[in-house]
A and B are shown apart, each in its own frame.
Chain A
């Protein structure tokens, strides 16, 4: 009984801390419609700031606390709203997600850079005070946390219901324009909610840090608990959010006390918040289709097929040259880049064309790799089967959240990735705890490809083929439907499209592409383990894809190379490892609004060359039959293609028609 009570007290303590974090999340979301995935990361940074003030600089604890909670955190929130998240809530959900994921990664990079890894500790508040109630010891810190969480609840209630600005905050979510019309100040309300939100994240972080330890990742991921709690309140209701947080705190505490310490159930204890989140999302009621145009949708460039094939051939040539001249260790890097580029292609389909965000793309690649290693069929059949299995898993993830959209789909992929990483990949039947599996290089139609150079060439061929298939898909009815669904789901629905199954198919296809990449990667490395597909790495993958351009094959290629170089650069220059992360994260924050990314700048240069230089070159050449005379009949042969020609659309002039695969 005493142990039970002890676990209850501990559960209430952590639940109270989660509740503080979750209420901040709900506040910012309801006021600005931006779901801040970086909420936990901000709490983490604030805990480091608190440590810096109180331990490193030796300020009195109360002063450090006041500075962090009332100055640094609110100022950060205010600045974030002003310069980063303003207007995001009215745009596509995918943009807001990418920007806040960028913020998360940027925060981790920032913290790693400013406070390099070393042993640090923060003492609990009132370390010497404790009370005994019924044989159970409650520390002063625990009591303080519970009291503060109640105070937060009361304060938020009073703010939202009893003050003018609070009413404005509740109103601005529905229609900021309307609020402005009636003399309210939606921007002030939004900025205030972010200031309070980050302060609450900081408070939760500071309260938890003595328990969890000062760690870049642990505190950042603790926010999954906050998401889960906030989801129970459907991101709207604060009382439900508090109830969810308490339930979660208790469940986690009891699990650590009573679950067996071996077997699969042991790993359950680490993933309770993710399971909880997944469950809550699955049980959410049907979402209504969003009516009203989404602002700021960018259309994807569409290259002509001739150019795509040309650039594909050029890429293969380059890889062939590299395969002939590089050492094996360097070729492995080229193969890794090809893997990442293929995974990013799956994001081009899902995010660039479809407007959905997945935070589990590397996990799907892991599923493909696991299937390939387990099947032990190193040939095209085994490869195809692995991709199919990954596609099936992807569809399964999307299936329970069939009725929901955007944000919830993305969050469930995050919960899924976390579950896979902590529970499935590490399990005995998979890679094993910190274990690896052997995988053979595959043979194509009886010819086995054992040399690394040959295998990398094979991967490049697969990449080019996948990219061409993707571009073909984009030109056809499916591509049009994807764009239509992104532009107006409500119109698609009223025209008779079953969005739910279409979305499941889209997720499945995208996961299958990632799985194919994973299976090829397994063959490349020949040993493969859970460490290759860590949950967290899906985030920089998404960010780099967006920074380089998630709407084009060029972007995926560049992004793949970039992600491959990331660990290389970090090990070459360990001093700026955090800085690199911060640059990527904050780069994504800056570039998130334009998913055409850096690739678009490249197209612009290409277009310039085409319009300015090419005519000059042509003038100097002896006159041959005009290009147009040759081209026009060739196009008439393909029925229905004429109206898709990029030139026939006004916007595509901004986006030149060539894309290097």
Chain B
């Protein structure tokens, strides 16, 4: 049985449909990739799953129970963890303190008595950012900050990891190491759902892939099938080869990129500070 089921989810912002009847699943012990062109609704899907965005229609089931109306923090308690495409590190705390906060939240006031330093250091070691431990989180490189977000998530021992473009900002060697880390994490029994533009990484580590285009799932299956799917090639702007498309998507991928921004825009519009 799948750990996470997204069932017929629709998200509308005013007249714009960001997610259009999307259904997909993620399984324990497997890495699931969520790919698609910019603006396809991937991050919006993540927001729906983690509870930051209420869907217009549809359901999210996690660990056998419906969580569609559950607040963000309760989903986390049930075992969801996520990272953000636009970094959400605690900028004025050190890298080590960032992870300590995660432990503090996870363990609750009674757990504060138990010192967490050793656990924190072990976790920083594991994701490979121990050398940054003392630095302020807003002063470290983007790739490192993404790993920090992953470490922070892992402190809560999640069953499901939602990783939003985790490898952007990492160089090739780092990406390889990161791929291995992901496979280790999955082998320990976690479900990993990952939005990612690096097609080498996606094709290399994912067990299942779902392709989103204009908010709809247009293809699902193992990497070998996705690679040759004509609908997927069409979605990547007529490129005959998915990997070429991914390269172009990668280079266009930045916060100022209009397509990315339009995808995030309606969220900004709705929020109330």
When the two chains form their complex, are residues A287 and B272 in contact, meaning their CB atoms are under 8 A apart? Answer: yes
Question: Is A477 engaged at the interface, CB distance under 8 Å to the other chain?
Answer: yes
Q: Are A497 and B73 also in contact (CB < 8 A) when A288-B271, A480-B104 are? A: yes
* A475-523 CB contacts (< 8 Å) to partner B: 476-477, 480-481, 483-484, 487-488, 490-499
Residues of A within 8 A of B271 (CB): 287-291
Q: Is A178 an interface residue (CB 8 A)?
A: yes
Taken together as a complex, chains A and B put the C-alpha atoms of A648 and B97 apart, in Å, by 12
Q: Are A291 and B84 interface neighbours, CB within 8 A? A: yes
Given A177-B256, A639-B115, the answer on whether A490 and B73 have CB atoms closer than 8 Å is no
Q: How far is the CA of A234 from the CA of B271 in the complex (A)?
A: 11
Which residues on A sit within 8 Å (CB–CB) of B101?
A: 477, 480-481, 484, 492, 495
Which of B75, B256, B273 has the most C-beta atoms of chain A within 10 angstroms of its own C-beta?
Answer: B273
Tell me the residues in window 179-203 of chain B with beta carbons closer than 8 Å to chain A beta carbons. none
List the A residue with the shortest CB-CB distance to B72. Answer: A493
A406 (CB) vs chain B CBs: closest residue: B273
Given contacts A288-B53, A288-B270, A288-B271, contact A495 B152 (CB under 8 A): yes
CA distance A191 to B112 in the complex (A): 50
A649 touches which of B75, B116, B136 (Cβ 8 Å):
B136
A26 at the interface (CB under 8 A from B): no
A649 touching B134, Cβ below 8 Å: yes
Q: Which of A292-300, A321-329, A338-346, A620-628 contacts B (4 or more CB under 8 A)?
A: A292-300
Which chain B residue lies CB-closest to A89?
B273
Answer whether residue B65 sits at the interface, using C-beta atoms and an 8 A cutoff.
no
Contact call A483/B93, Cβ cutoff below 8 A: yes
**What 0/1 pattern do residues 75 to 96 of B give for CB contact below 8 A with A?**
1110011101011111111101
* CB of A181 within 8 Å of the partner chain: yes
Q: Say yes or no: is B139 at the interface (Cβ < 8 Å to chain A).
A: yes
Docked pose: A428 CA to B109 CA in angstroms: 43
Q: Which residues of B contact A477 (CB under 8 A)?
A: 100-101, 104, 109, 112
- Which of chain A's residues have a CB closer than 8 A to the CB of B96? 643
A495 & B52 in contact (Cβ 8 Å cutoff): no
Q: Is A602 an interface residue (CB 8 A)?
A: no
Taking CB atoms and an 8 Å cut-off, the chain B residues in 35-92 that contact chain A are 47, 50-53, 71-73, 75-77, 80-82, 84, 86-92
Chain B residues with CB under 8 A of A181 = 256, 258
Q: Which residue from chain B places its CB closest to the CB of A33 in the assembled complex?
A: B273
With A288-B272, A480-B100, A648-B94 as contacts: A494 and B135 at CB distance below 8 Å: no
**Roughly how many angstroms separate A528 CA and B39 CA in the complex, as a whole number?**
62
How distant is B129 from chain A, measured CB to nearest CB, in Å? 15
Q: Which residues of B have CB within 8 Å of A405? A: 272-273
Within 8 A of B (CB), among A390-408: 404-408
- Once A and B bind, how many residue pairs between them come within 8 Å at the CB atom? 164
Does A650 count as interface, using CB distance less than 8 angstroms? yes
A404 and B272 contact, CB distance less than 8 A: yes
Given A493-B76, A496-B106, A643-B134, A480 and B97 contact (CB-CB distance below 8 Å): yes
A650 and B139 alpha carbons, distance in the complex (Å): 9
* Interface status of A93 (Cβ within 8 A of chain B): yes
A446 at the interface (CB under 8 A from B): no
CB distance from B134 to the nearest CB of A (A): 5
Instruction: Specify the chain A residue showing the minimal Cβ separation from B152.
Output: A495
The reply on A640 being an interface residue by CB < 8 A is: yes
B156 within 8 A of A: yes
- Determine the chain A residues whose CB is within 8 A of the CB of B80 once the complex forms: 494
Does B153 have its Cβ within 8 Å of any Cβ on chain A?
Answer: yes
* Interface presence of A330 (CB below 8 A): no
Q: What mask results when residues 632 to 661 of chain A are scored 1 for a CB within 8 Å of chain B, else 0? A: 000000011001100011110000000000
Residues B265 and A175 in contact, CB atoms below 8 Å apart: yes
Interface assignment of B261: CB less than 8 Å from any CB of chain A: yes
| Beta-carbon contacts under 8 Å, B117-166 to A | 117, 133-136, 139, 149, 152-153, 155-156
**A257, chain B: closest CB distance, angstroms:** 36
CA of A289 to CA of B270, assembled, Å: 10
Residues of A within 8 A of B112 (CB): 476-477
Distance, CA A467 to CA B75, complexed state (A): 37
**Interface-central residue, A290, A480, A494, A496, by most chain B CB under 10 Å:** A494
Known: A288-B53, A477-B104, A487-B92. A93 touches B273 (CB 8 A): yes
- Bound form: Cα–Cα A174–B258 in Å: 13
Q: What CA separation (Å) do A498 and B73 show in the bound complex?
A: 6
Distance from B148 Cβ to chain A, minimum over Cβ atoms (Å): 11
Q: Which of A484, A488, A495, A499 contacts B153 (CB 8 A)?
A: A495
Pair A297/B104 contact, Cβ less than 8 Å: no
Q: Which residue of A lies closest to B112 (CB)?
A: A477
> Which residue of B has the minimal Cβ distance to A287?
B272
Decide yes or no whether B225 CB sits under 8 A from chain A.
no
Q: A175-B265, A491-B84 are in contact. Are A483 and B273 (CB under 8 A)?
A: no
Q: Which of B51, B112, B134, B272 has the most CB of A within 10 A?
A: B272
CB A171 to nearest CB in B, in angstroms, measures 9
Q: How far is the CB of A504 from chain B (nearest CB, A)?
A: 14
Partner of B105, one of A93, A290, A406, A496: A496
B102 within 8 A of A: yes
Please count how many residues in chain A sit with their CB below 8 Å of the partner chain's CB atoms: 52
Q: Which of B52, B76, B93 contacts A291 (CB 8 A)?
A: B52
> Least Cβ distance of A140 to chain B in Å?
41
Q: Is the CB–CB distance between B134 and A648 below 8 Å?
A: yes
In the complex, B268 has a CB within 8 A of chain A = yes
Q: Does A291 lie within 8 Å of B135, measured CB to CB?
A: no
Partner of A174, one of B51, B106, B265: B265
Q: Which residues of B contact A288 (CB under 8 A)?
A: 52-53, 267, 270-272
- The answer to whether B91 and A487 touch across the interface, beta carbons within 8 angstroms, is yes
Alpha-carbon gap, A639 to B117, bound state (A): 9
Distance A480 CA – B91 CA, assembled complex (angstroms):
12
Residues on B with beta carbons closer than 8 Å to the beta carbon of A476: 112
What is the CA–CA distance of A175 and B52 in the complex, to the nearest angstrom? 20
| CA A292 to CA B91, docked complex, whole Å | 12
* Interface set, chain B 247-272, CB cutoff 8 A to A: 256, 258, 261-262, 264-265, 267-272
| A177 shortest CB reach to chain B, Å | 7
Q: How far is the CB of A316 from chain B (nearest CB, A)?
A: 31
Most chain B CB within 10 A, of A297, A477, A488, A644, is at: A477
Given known A93-B273, A288-B52, contact A493–B73 (CB-CB < 8 A):
yes
A495:B105 contact, CB within 8 angstroms: yes
Bound form: Cα–Cα A290–B86 in Å:
12
Name the residue of chain A whose CB is nearest to the CB of B101.
A484
A588-B47 Cα distance, complex, nearest whole Å: 38
CA distance A329 to B101 in the complex (A): 48
Residues 54-106 (chain A) with a chain B CB within 8 angstroms: 93
Rounded to whole angstroms, the CA-CA distance of A481 and B84 in the bound complex is 19
B86 — which chain A residues lie within 8 A by C-beta?
291-293
List residues of A (162-207) whose CB comes within 8 Å of B's CBs.
173-175, 177-178, 181-182
Docked Cα-Cα span, A650 to B93, in Å, equals 10
Instruction: State the CA gap A406–B93 with chains docked (Å).
Output: 21
Partner of B268, one of A175, A492, A494, A499: A175
Which partner residue on chain A sits nearest B149 by CB separation?
Answer: A491
Closest Cβ–Cβ distance, residue A333 to chain B (whole Å): 37
Report whether A293 and B272 are in contact in the complex, using a CB–CB cutoff of 8 Å.
Answer: no
Specify the chain A residue showing the minimal Cβ separation from B77. Answer: A496
* CB neighbours of A488 from chain B (8 A): 88-91
Contact A490 B104 (CB under 8 A): no
B97 near A651 (CB under 8 angstroms)? no
- Complex CA distance for A289 and B51, rounded to whole angstroms: 10
A-B contact pairs, 20 of them (CB 8 A): A33-B273, A175-B261, A181-B258, A284-B272, A288-B270, A288-B271, A290-B271, A292-B86, A404-B272, A406-B273, A477-B112, A480-B93, A481-B104, A491-B90, A494-B73, A494-B76, A494-B81, A495-B76, A495-B153, A648-B134
Name A residues whose Cβ lies closer than 8 Å to a Cβ of B: 33, 93, 173-175, 177-178, 181-182, 234, 284, 287-293, 297-299, 404-408, 476-477, 480-481, 483-484, 487-488, 490-499, 639-640, 643-644, 648-651
List 7 additional contacts besides A284-B272, A480-B97, A495-B105; criterion CB under 8 Å: A287-B273, A404-B272, A481-B105, A484-B98, A491-B90, A493-B72, A494-B80
